[in-house]
Amino acid sequence: MKFGNVDFDTYFKNYPDANGFFGKYGGSYIPPELQRAMAEINTAYQTICKSRRFISELRRIRKEFQGRPTPISYLERLSGKLGNVQLYVKREDLNHTGAHKLNHCMGEVLLAKYMGKRKVIAETGAGQHGVALATAAAYFGLECDIYMGAVDIRKQAPNVARMEILGANVIEVTEGLQTLKEAVDAAFAAYCREYKDAIYCIGSVVGPHPFPMMVRDFQSVVGIEAREQFLEMTGELPDAIVACVGGGSNAMGLFSGFLNDPVDIYGVEPLGRGTALGDHAASLTYGEEGIMHGFNSIMLKDENGEPAPVYSVASGLDYPSSGPEHAFLHDLGRVKYDVVTDDETIDAFFELSRMEGIIPAIESSHAVAYAMKLARKMDKGSILINLSGRGDKDMDYIIEKYGVRKG
């Protein structure tokens, strides 16, 4: 299928190109000493990812440890309430550790093992990436250093405990505002010192080449499974697919399975409290081209051209940019990016819980909220939503802020 000047029959061969570009987006804008380390990861990945041993080991792990394939569930009651459109969810909430992040963490740490590394390094904000990576490191018996801002350590005590129980070293970062940005800098600095023994494991389809490609490839299991399962369940493809977009890994995982199909694709960004800069994290919708964290994409900038402050009710979505492949698909028009507010998201959180017995992560509730709006507008057809994670991690916040909304 052709779309604009892009032929999706051969898309994965051509995108990204050898230098990690999706059109003008992507690439690798990092200091020379890191460039060398990235080149080493890239070369290793290019050979290892094609080896039979690596592929069959990853396949076995997905089945025996992660619990894949995750099912697709039909949302019968919610669909009935909304009208004539049939809603389905891909259940990444049932993946081990309760979200899609383990899909790429298991791949990244398996790669580290094949490269002969003994340690993995990453930063974490709310702690979800840290917990997924600590899980993978424990499974493979590798050391795991997680850099985390001191403020986030205080706010996310249960995730800090999880990482430590799993055997990871949580390293407190006390520079600057003591949150995610400083943690990224500290993790990169550590990686520059330790790259002979360690690899850096990124948490989404962001960062310098080869990470956006690698993480997409590891997440593509979601789209491959979903396409097959949906065809088997219904005999057809869905009319539309929907996923939330922070950095964009769960979305790229699902989307990659359907890019070459006559399926409408929607990426949902967090509009938070509203359209003013600082009140949302809808980078593709309101941002402009720019370079941050080593890659060129579409980002939200402040008046000095620096990454703008962002906000979302979902801590996994408050990132001032998105992966370069999303920027590319955005400009091409293959994927439509749109927004939902915090309020619409929280309504969807309670609706899915009450109507279907599935408590979604607040991140995933963005996709549910958008699909519900879409379903009211369409008069027939089907929508497949990526339910990127479960809501257990959000319980304390929901109870404190919204109560249980009885009745």
Ligand X SMILES: *Cc1c(COP(=O)(O)O)cnc(C)c1O
Residues labelled as active-site residues: 101, 123, 388
Binding of ligand X by 389 (CB under 6 A) = yes
Among 26, 223, 246, 294, binds ligand X (CB under 6 A): 246
Task: Please give the radius of gyration of the chain, using alpha carbons only, rounded to the nearest integer.
Answer: 20
Q: How far is the CB of 9 from ligand X (least distance, A)?
A: 26
What whole-number distance in Å separates Cα of residue 187 and Cα of residue 291?
19
Best CA proximity match to 103, nearest among 189, 201, 218, 208: 218
Considering beta carbons, is residue 257 or 316 the nearer one to ligand X?
316
Count, residues in the chain = 407
Q: How far is the CB of 354 from ligand X (least distance, A)?
A: 20
Task: Give me the residues paired with residue 229 across strands.
Answer: none
What whole-number distance in Å separates Cα of residue 110 and Cα of residue 222?
18
Binding of ligand X by 272 (CB under 6 A) = no
User: Stretches 56-64, 155-163, 337-345, 359-367: which one binds ligand X (CB under 6 A)?
Assistant: 359-367
Residue with tokens 């996994």: 316
Task: Give me the residues paired with residue 339 across strands.
Answer: 269
Considering beta carbons, is residue 69 or 247 the nearer one to ligand X?
247
Among 49, 99, 148, 180, binds ligand X (CB under 6 A): 99
For the packed helices 211-234 and 249-256, what is the interaxial angle rounded to 10 degrees? Answer: 50
User: Stretches 21-29, 152-160, 247-255, 368-376: which one binds ligand X (CB under 6 A)?
Assistant: 247-255
Q: How far is the CB of 116 from ligand X (least distance, A)?
A: 28
Evaluate whether 117 touches 198 at the Cβ level (below 8 Å): yes
Binding of ligand X by 248 (CB under 6 A) = yes
Binding of ligand X by 307 (CB under 6 A) = no
Burial class of residue 396 (count of CB atoms within 10 Å of its CB; 0-12, 13-18, 19+):
exposed
User: Stretches 41-49, 221-229, 239-247, 270-278: which one binds ligand X (CB under 6 A)?
Assistant: 239-247
Interacting residues with ligand X (CB under 6 A):
99, 101, 128, 204, 244-251, 316-317, 361, 363-364, 388-389
